[in-house]
């Protein structure tokens, strides 16, 4: 029989329900600052403190959880295990999907070549840091274990050298930091993007970092900039040494390091072989840029480029044409491609839970402070253990005075639980000592065993005294750290991979001045472009065109200008006129969509020539609006070849032209109404994508059909088509008004 609910419990339940739904659906105003503080700040702080930024031991939480799991799995020694096994075990500490955990492992591995000193010994395909397309194999196919240098991360971790905290479900513990015996924070690169801040730490040579740290431990005021000479990237290359920039990085933690690729020349094959590249680029990015420049005729010296990377390492082969100077070509490639790139330093490190940007010297100083604390905790741990053992041996020493008495006490005690108290009374020892004595095996109750233990007492007393002296002396603590650093140098130091190029050895590419001479430019409706010299045009002026094609753009200009190709997708592609080869009227010319890499189906809408980006452009749209935009809006400080939002895409573009003084335009609607427009009556807008202002009033379903340049012969009575105010509907054409027109689009 079901138990009936009491009226009181029903009433309480109703009150709770009323409380839950009381404010349901009520919109409460809340200041935006409060919303950010309550809803966004916890997320932002979590990303900054627990995800993106490294701490003084050189690791992010994801790295630390993975490596500690491998350590607990016994992978510091013994055979490798499947990566999938490690990933699964890591989830006990890192409650994320297997993919991000495995990607973390890949970056830490030797096979990926992302770190100067990898921590994971890998077997299988782990991809390459220098390749964008060389993907790593799945975790079920690869195997891993810890590298030998990883032992330096965990040394003394079981001796209370660092704090241990519960994992996310409170089933085990994990270290807050690693008690690493060397400044791994500067040895291996680390990059991360948090909320409103980021970190980018470049790697340094292990021996140089350790030597610089030793110098600081011996003398806090030591100038270690001469020891820590500069970064050392795992991919090698040449570092363009800049003393002022390095001092800035050394002092503030911010700055830029320029890195050049390393190459060799195979003269027999007319080939340049790139073997080391900057850390900020990939082989594919370099190839893409070289191919782009070849299409633009800016690298005429190159006949082919291919990726020949194999098991022996990176190799990018560039075949050059005969009579090409490889050295000059490389200077040109350094200037125009990612074969020379910059690593932007931002030494943002979590220090005691707070992000702080520090210079290389300050990071080493803080690491020394951290390591000193680790050593003190380790020595204190060992000291307590030895004191406990010594205390037991003191109790054993008292037993030595009368072994027979101890045996008699044990034999004559009737109850087992009384053995320890009786020993305590009989020899004047405490409970811990009595327990130790009571657990001694019968075979050990001989004089030799006890004398050996007492001899050990003297050794322990000496060690304890030495440890206590060590804890009292900062110099002795530093001496321990120095010995450990020297041991790391002896075991794991390796020659620099990145070499220095000093200012006297650096040759910068100076682009040859573009020759200037008159040329005729032609553009067809289908997108074919020709650059023809006046001499060639005089010899043959008959233009070869695709069937049904026509010339829509014809201008005489100089070879040093630039040309802007506006497309039907509100984009503009910029190119130098000198990048196009001279051709003849009898040839089709360059197909612009292919030449400049248009998007699929994208077509040329108009072309504008300029030398200094001065003047203004006039845009007309089907909805009857028009815009006046300064040409300077399309000038960029960098050599960007493609600009999006080149004009408004709210209505199809009818025409775009360069405004010349005194020019007026004739707007013609689909209903054959015509309106003369002075472009200077339209307000100038600095934004490229401006929608413009209404110029021609259109009836329903009508649209602006064409825009033409007004000439003296266009209309017999032009005053009929002019208006004092815009927008206007225009006037219908009469027979007596007909003249000649020049069409723009």
263 neighbors 272 (Cβ within 8 angstroms): yes
Rounded CA-CA distance 413/433 in Å is 18
Angle, helices 61-72/98-108, rounded to nearest 10 degrees: 80
Of the spans 478-482, 506-510, 560-564, which averages the highest pLDDT? Answer: 478-482
CA angle 368, 373, 377 (to 5 degrees): 145
227 neighbors 215 (Cβ within 8 angstroms): yes
Rounded CA-CA distance 193/185 in Å is 17
Where does the pLDDT of residue 740 fall: very low under 50, low under 70, confident under 90, or very high at 90 and above? low
Tokens coding 725: 């105010």
Which entry of 68, 102, 130, 141 is annotated as an active-site residue?
A: 141
| Mean of pLDDT values over 567-583 | 90
Tokens coding 659: 């405004």
Q: How many CA atoms lie within 13 A of 152 on its CB side?
A: 27
386 neighbors 378 (Cβ within 8 angstroms): no
- Tens-digit pLDDT profile for residues 188-233: 999 998 888 999 999 999 999 999 999 999 999 998 888 998 999 9
For residue 79, give the DSSP letter.
Answer: -
How many C-beta neighbours within 10 Å does residue 621 have? 25
702 neighbors 665 (Cβ within 8 angstroms): no
Rounded CA-CA distance 728/466 in Å is 100
User: Which of 425, 459, 419 is closest to 440 using CA atoms?
Assistant: 419
| Mean of pLDDT values over 337-349 | 94
pLDDT for the residue 686: 87
- Is the pLDDT at 479 greater than 50, yes or no? yes
Strand partners, 551: 524
State how beta strands 653-658 and 616-621 pair: antiparallel
83 neighbors 142 (Cβ within 8 angstroms): yes
pLDDT for the residue 505: 76
Tell me if domain 59-179 and domain 262-338 are identical in fold: no
Angle, helices 360-400/403-412, rounded to nearest 10 degrees: 80
How many C-beta neighbours within 10 Å does residue 659 have? 17
For residue 40, give the DSSP letter.
Answer: I
pLDDT for the residue 275: 95
User: Which of 695, 720, 709, 714 is closest to 743 using CA atoms?
Assistant: 709
CATH of region 59-179, choose from 3.90.199.10, 1.10.760.10, 3.40.50.2300, 3.75.10.10: 3.90.199.10
Question: In terms of pLDDT, which residue wins out, 443 or 460?
Answer: 460
Task: Delimit the domains of the chain by residue range.
Answer: 59-179, 262-338, 518-743
pLDDT for the residue 23: 61
pLDDT for the residue 406: 85
* SS3 category, 368: helix
- Tens-digit pLDDT profile for residues 619-654: 999 999 999 999 999 988 777 788 999 999 999 999
pLDDT for the residue 3: 46
- Is the pLDDT at 1 greater than 80, yes or no? no
| Mean of pLDDT values over 234-254 | 92
- Is the pLDDT at 2 greater than 50, yes or no? no
* SS3 category, 129: coil
pLDDT for the residue 123: 96
Question: In terms of pLDDT, which residue wins out, 268 or 588?
Answer: 588
- Whole-number mean pLDDT of the chain? 89
Quickly count helices (H) and strands (E) in the chain.
20, 34
pLDDT for the residue 379: 96
Fold annotation for 518-743: Neuraminidase (2.120.10)
pLDDT for the residue 504: 78
pLDDT for the residue 322: 86
- Residues across the chain: 745
Helix (H) or strand (E) holding 134: none
Where does the pLDDT of residue 540 fall: very low under 50, low under 70, confident under 90, or very high at 90 and above? confident
User: Which of 183, 144, 164, 217 is closest to 57 using CA atoms?
Assistant: 183
Residue 737 Cα distances to 305, 721, 726, angstroms: 62, 10, 22
- Tens-digit pLDDT profile for residues 28-44: 787 888 888 888 888 88
**Whether the bond into 375 is cis, omega within 30 of 0:** no
Rounded CA-CA distance 154/653 in Å is 67
- Is the pLDDT at 744 greater than 80, yes or no? no
- Is the pLDDT at 22 greater than 80, yes or no? no
Work out the percent of the chain whose per-residue pLDDT is above 90.
Answer: 59
Residue 363 Cα distances to 49, 199, 223, 244, 496, angstroms: 18, 14, 14, 19, 21
Where does the pLDDT of residue 364 fall: very low under 50, low under 70, confident under 90, or very high at 90 and above? very high
User: H helices of 493-571, where?
Assistant: 534-539
> Tokens 């404010």 identify what position?
23
Rounded CA-CA distance 184/378 in Å is 19
Work out the percent of the chain whose per-residue pLDDT is above 70.
Answer: 94
* Domain boundaries 262-338, corresponding CATH code: 3.30.1360.40
743 neighbors 705 (Cβ within 8 angstroms): no
pLDDT for the residue 214: 96
> Tokens 């010349």 identify what position?
660
pLDDT for the residue 20: 57
Of 202-206, 273-277, 720-724, the poorest mean pLDDT is in 720-724
pLDDT for the residue 441: 79
pLDDT for the residue 695: 93
* SS3 category, 351: strand
Rounded CA-CA distance 372/330 in Å is 49
DSSP string of 655-705?
EEEE--TT--EEEEETT-EEEEE-GGGSPB-S-TT---EE-B---TT--EE
Q: Is 20 a catalytic residue?
A: no
DSSP string of 45-64?
HHHIIIIIS-BTTS--HHHH
744 neighbors 707 (Cβ within 8 angstroms): yes
φ/ψ of residue 9, rounded to 5: -65, -35
Helix (H) or strand (E) holding 447: helix 447-472
Rounded CA-CA distance 103/534 in Å is 60
Of 478-487, 508-517, 555-564, 598-607, the poorest mean pLDDT is in 508-517
- Tens-digit pLDDT profile for residues 60-115: 999 999 999 999 999 999 899 999 999 999 999 988 889 999 999 999 999 999 99
Question: In terms of pLDDT, which residue wins out, 175 or 312?
Answer: 175
pLDDT for the residue 641: 84
Where does the pLDDT of residue 347 fall: very low under 50, low under 70, confident under 90, or very high at 90 and above? very high
C-alpha 417: how far from chain center: 67
Where does the pLDDT of residue 130 fall: very low under 50, low under 70, confident under 90, or very high at 90 and above? very high
Rounded CA-CA distance 629/617 in Å is 5
pLDDT for the residue 610: 92
C-alpha 639: how far from chain center: 23
């Amino acid at each position: 029989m079901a138990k009936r609910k009491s009226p009181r419990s029903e009433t309480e339940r109703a009150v709770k329900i009323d409380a839950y739904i009381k404010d349901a659906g009520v919109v409460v105003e809340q200041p935006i600052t409060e919303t950010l503080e309550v809803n966004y700040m916890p997320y932002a702080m979590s990303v900054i403190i627990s995800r993106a930024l490294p701490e003084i031991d050189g690791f992010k939480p994801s790295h630390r959880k993975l490596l500690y799991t491998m350590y607990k799995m016994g992978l510091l020694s013994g055979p490798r295990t499947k990566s999938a096994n490690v990933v699964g075990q890591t989830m006990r500490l890192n409650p994320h999907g297997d993919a991000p955990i495995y990607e973390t492992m890949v970056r830490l591995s030797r096979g990926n070549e992302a770190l100067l000193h990898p921590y994971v010994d890998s077997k299988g395909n782990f991809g390459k840091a220098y390749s964008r397309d060389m993907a790593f194999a799945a975790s079920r196919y690869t195997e891993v274990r810890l590298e030998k240098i990883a032992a330096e991360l965990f040394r003394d971790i079981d001796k209370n050298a660092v704090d241990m905290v519960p994992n996310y479900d409170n089933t085990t513990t994990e270290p807050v930091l690693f008690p690493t015996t060397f400044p791994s924070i500067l040895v291996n690169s680390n990059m991360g993007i948090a909320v409103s801040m980021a970190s980018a730490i470049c790697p340094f040579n292990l021996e140089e970092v350790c030597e610089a740290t030793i110098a600081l431990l011996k003398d806090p005021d030591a100038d270690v900039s001469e020891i820590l000479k500069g970064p050392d990237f795992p991919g090698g290359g040449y570092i363009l040494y800049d003393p002022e920039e390095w001092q800035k990085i050394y002092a503030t933690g911010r700055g830029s390091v320029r890195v050049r690729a390393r190459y060799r020349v195979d003269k027999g094959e007319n080939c340049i072989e790139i073997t080391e590249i900057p850390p900020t680029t990939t082989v594919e990015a370099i190839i893409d840029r070289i191919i782009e420049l070849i299409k633009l005729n800016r690298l005429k010296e190159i006949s082919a480029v291919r990726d020949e990377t194999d098991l022996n390492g990176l190799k990018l082969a560039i075949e050059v044409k005969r009579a090409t100077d490889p050295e000059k070509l490389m200077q040109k490639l350094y200037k125009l491609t990612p074969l020379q790139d910059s690593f932007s330093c931002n030494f943002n490190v979590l220090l005691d839970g707070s992000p702080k940007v520090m210079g290389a010297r300050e990071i080493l100083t803080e690491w020394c402070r951290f390591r000193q604390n680790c050593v003190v905790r380790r020595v204190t741990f060992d000291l307590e253990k030895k004191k406990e053992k010594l205390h037991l041996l003191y109790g054993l020493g008292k037993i030595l005075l009368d072994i027979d008495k101890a045996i008699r006490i044990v034999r004559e005690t009737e109850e087992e639980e009384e053995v320890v108290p009786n020993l305590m009374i009989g020899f004047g020892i405490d409970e811990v000592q009595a327990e130790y004595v009571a657990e001694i095996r019968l075979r050990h109750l001989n004089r030799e065993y006890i004398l050996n233990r007492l001899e050990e007492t003297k050794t322990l007393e000496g060690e304890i005294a030495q440890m206590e002296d060590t804890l009292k002396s900062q110099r002795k603590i530093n001496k321990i750290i120095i010995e450990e650093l020297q041991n790391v140098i002896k075991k794991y130091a390796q020659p620099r991979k990145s070499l220095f190029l000093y200012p006297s050895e650096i040759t910068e590419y100076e682009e040859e001045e573009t020759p200037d001479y008159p040329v005729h430019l032609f553009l067809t409706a289908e997108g074919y472009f020709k650059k023809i010299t006046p001499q060639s045009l005089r010899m043959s002026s008959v233009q070869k065109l695709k069937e049904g094609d026509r010339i829509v753009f014809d201008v005489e200009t100089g070879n040093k200008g630039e040309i802007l190709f506006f497309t039907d997708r509100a984009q503009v592609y910029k190119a130098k006129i000198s990048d196009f080869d001279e051709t003849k009227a009898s040839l089709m010319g360059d197909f612009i969509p292919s030449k400049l890499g248009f998007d699929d189906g994208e077509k040329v809408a108009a072309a504008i020539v300029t030398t200094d980006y001065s003047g203004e452009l006039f845009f007309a749209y089907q909805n009857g609006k028009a815009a006046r935009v300064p040409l300077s809006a399309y000038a960029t400080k960098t050599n960007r070849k493609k600009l999006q939002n080149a004009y408004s895409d709210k209505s199809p573009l009818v025409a775009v032209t360069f405004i010349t003084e005194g020019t007026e335009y004739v707007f013609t609607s689909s209903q054959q109404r015509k309106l003369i427009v002075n472009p200077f009556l339209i307000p100038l807008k600095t934004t490229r994508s401006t929608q413009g202002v209404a110029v021609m009033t259109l009836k329903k379903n009508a649209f602006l059909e064409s825009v033409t340049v007004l000439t003296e012969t266009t209309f017999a009575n032009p005053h009929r088509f002019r208006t004092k105010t815009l927008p206007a509907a225009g006037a219908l054409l009469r027979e007596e008004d007909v003249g000649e027109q020049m069409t723009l689009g």
